[in-house]
Amino acid sequence: MIINHNMNAMNAHRQMGINTVNSGKAMEKLSSGLRINRAGDDAAGLAISEKMRGQIRGLDQASRNAQDGISLIQTAEGALNETHSILQRMRELAVQASNDTNNESDRGQIQKEINQLTSEINRIGNTTEFNTMKLLDGTHSDKAVKEKISIAQAKNYGEMANSPKATWSGKYKFNITSDGVEDGIEFKGKDTSGVNWGALNKDKTNTLLITADKTKGTFKVDGTFEIDDNTSLQIKSEQMTLNEAGDTYTYNNHGIKFQISKEEFDKATDKDSVKLNLVKDAKAAENVTTSNVKTKNDWDNNDADATKASVLKDFEVLESDQRPDGLDQVELKLNKDDKTLTISFKNTKVSNDPIIKETIKLGTDINNKTIDYNSNGVKFKFTTPAKAESSQITIKLDQQDKIKTEDKSLTFQVGANEHQSMALSLGDMRSEALGISSSKGGEGFKASQEVTRGTDNDPIESALDVSTHKTAENAITTIQSAIDKVSDERAKLGAVQNRLEHTINNLGTSSENLQAAESRVRDVDMAKEMMNFSKNNILAQAAQAMLAQANQQPQGVLQLLR
């Protein structure tokens, strides 16, 4: 019998501590209703549960997003319902005006109502908003096409004295990429003189026109590409030719500067060298992305003999819109004494020094000379002909651009993770976009502008003309087309709304099932945990009683001392 260590008491004490801790944990779980209150309760389960919680909250928010999307759609569709009503009334008025029982005064009264109804359609399109976002003015249309195509074409030709004729030619090919769809475009060139620069008209059909400054002819490079049923671009080129010593031509439009000065060309045939600089003073175009710029040349050269070529008499540059980055300057110099032709390409974004500078000796070295250019994604190559048979030497930079248009459609996040969204394009539902008014007038529209934006009293557009039987009859067809367009837009909105309703149902089901799985990981089984609590509580009380008994055992030693 020992008295220094009461092993029975120590064991009872240890067991009582274990039971007390287990009883406390059970009480904690019963109090919170959670099986996992800290990472120590179930480390792996905690990580899995938190991931599920993130998905659940994301699904719930996505469901709310879809509901907000439905509200936005209902706002737009409700506004278009009123637009439909207005158009139906306008069609009714056009039918009435088509009847020759109406005199000029009667049709004038009908015209007044047509004007006001057209202005109201503009007001609806300009003011319909959801959360301060305009819905029907075309801001969120996916048909936003790049206004300016980034194209480079430098056509440099000079007349070599006493040399036969030879011409280099090439084709322009463009790939327009919009939402993954590519449309081809091909340009073919002709040359002439006496042409001034034109301008770009921004409307449904964008046209770049050329006007003749002198009566020497015109220059046309025709090509059309079409992005969709409503948007196309026709370019008819830009060209300038200097034929007379002492002339100075200057062009500055859309950030592109071009000048041929008197000092450089005055009496060019008597000078040792002549120079032309084609410099781009770039201004960034809004909402324009240009990428993957490539150039491909396909030359068909004629044989010629240029051994006697010595003097450059004429020089011409052709440019369509903007050049891409990487080609800021093209310079050609001809030195008659040294019988050399120097061609330099410069990029002012990198430095003012030439990126490529090639000197070709007139005569032997001019044959089969190849020059490569590759900078900032712009690539081209040209090779001199084996023999020159022309007094004209032409250099073209044949180029291929790929252009990505900007998608301005609305995006609804309808999932808990990345790339789980859907897009909605809202078309322009104002009167001019519907074809029932025109800012430029024209056939079928009134000569005077009496249609406003709807938000002020300033007339900006001409309404449909219903002043005669013929014009009123044409207006019926035009208004019917507008009704059909609004019907298409409303049908699209209704289809998207139905889709979003199904999306909400799906998200709710997914969230519910994932919540059930997360509950099995995180929540406590109350009945089972109550059983554990009762067991641990009883064991703790029993251990406490046994500890009291064990503490009494050493007192038996006192009996031996009596």
Tokens of 319: 């440019």
Exposure b/e, 21-48, CB count within 10 A at least 16 = b:
ebbebbebbeeeebbbbeeebbeeebeb
Q: What are the backbone dihedrals phi and psi of residue 124, each rounded to the nearest 5 degrees, phi first?
A: -60, -45
Pairing between strand 340-346 and 437-438? Answer: unpaired
- CA 6 from chain centre, in angstroms, equals 84
Can you tell me whether residue 537 is helix, strand or coil?
A: helix
Can you tell me whether residue 523 is helix, strand or coil?
A: strand
Is there a contact between 119 and 454 (Cβ–Cβ < 8 Å)?
Answer: yes
DSSP codes joined into one string, 196-250: ----EE-SSEEEE---BSSTT------EEEESSSS-EEEE---EEEE-STT--EE
Domains of the chain: which residue ranges?
Answer: 7-31+528-561, 47-139+429-516, 155-167+242-404
CB neighbours of 528 closer than 8 A, spacing ≥ 6?
Answer: none
Reported pTM = 0.54
Give the Cα separation of 172 and 513 in Å (integer): 58
Half-sphere exposure of 503 (CA within 13 A, CB side): 26
Is there a contact between 295 and 128 (Cβ–Cβ < 8 Å)?
Answer: no
Amino acid at 238: E
Closest CA to 464 of 503, 509, 504, 434: 434
Tokens of 273: 């060298």
Is there a contact between 216 and 193 (Cβ–Cβ < 8 Å)?
Answer: yes
Return per-residue pLDDT of the chain as tens, 562 residues.
677 888 989 999 999 999 999 988 899 999 899 999 989 889 999 999 999 999 999 999 999 999 999 999 999 999 999 999 999 999 999 999 999 999 999 999 999 999 999 999 999 999 999 999 999 998 988 654 433 333 333 333 333 333 333 333 333 333 333 333 333 333 333 333 333 333 333 333 333 333 323 333 333 333 333 333 333 333 333 333 334 444 444 434 333 333 444 444 333 333 333 233 333 332 322 332 322 222 222 323 333 333 333 333 333 333 333 344 444 444 555 554 555 555 555 544 443 444 445 555 555 454 555 555 554 444 445 455 444 433 334 444 444 443 445 678 899 999 999 999 999 999 999 999 999 999 998 899 999 999 999 999 999 999 999 999 999 999 999 999 999 999 999 999 999 999 999 999 999 999 999 999 999 999 999 999 899 999 998 999 999 999 998 888 888 777 777 7
DSSP codes joined into one string, 385-437: -SS--BSEEEEE---EEEEEPPP--EEEE-SSSTT-EEEE---B-SHHHHTSE
Instruction: Say which DSSP state 137 is in.
Output: B
CATH class of 47-139+429-516: mainly alpha
Closest CA to 275 of 302, 247, 315, 307: 315
Tokens of 548: 């009291």
Tokens of 113: 């109502």
